[in-house]
Amino acid sequence: MQLWVGLGNPEPAMARQRHNVGFMAIEVIAAALRWPAWRSRFKGRITEGGVGQDRILALKPMTYMNESGAAVQAASAFHKIPPQEIVVFHDELDLAPGKLRIRQGGGTAGHNGLRSIARHLGTPEFRRVRIGIGHPGHKEAVLGHVLGDFSRTDRDWLVPLLDALAETAPLIAAGESEAAMTRIALLTRERA
């Protein structure tokens, strides 16, 4: 079993914020694969289903971003899922809007959700699906940017990217990160 975590903040007013793109990604994947309705568990909302030969537990922590690790640790401990089998979908300032990178481990780059998960798991060695939201250009503008809503023009790249993520879920589950990134790039180019 794998644990796929979408990062975001729980307040309904925050649903369209850039910081919630991890929630958006996991919701689109779960809907596309017709997983059951979300239910409360592990300080979050969960659903589960199959992707190819793999069983996936999807989690949206209902703590705030800086405490996401508590929900991740609770779910992974209960199901005995090692960090290498955890995939975290999150926003990434250092990638241009619409770009995506998948990598195993690494630093947290100041991302409070990743920092919390690494602290609660005792290791940063989980997989990350980094979804680019772009950098506003100045450090002082970062908070307003990540907590700002996606604009209507952002939907031109956001919707095709999230749909491509759902379509490539079997590659992500199989650990074929390079193939998944290539396929997502092709799909988003075709739909642009």
The residues with which 6 forms a beta bridge, in sequence order, are: 89
Burial label, 70 (beta-carbon count in 10 A; 0-12, 13-18, 19+): middle
Reading phi first (left if > 0) and then psi (alpha if -120 to 50, else beta), residue 122 is in left
Grouping H, G, I as helix, E, B as strand and the rest as coil, residue 9 is coil
| Contacts for 128 with CB less than 8 Å, ≥ 6 apart | 87, 88, 90, 102, 103, 104, 106, 114
- Indicate which residues carry an active-site annotation: 19
CA distances from 3 to 58, 98, 155 (A): 6, 24, 27
Quote the CA–CA distance of 117 and 140 in Å, as a whole number. 25
Grouping H, G, I as helix, E, B as strand and the rest as coil, residue 160 is helix
Nearest one of 45, 44, 125, 132 to 87, comparing CA atoms: 125
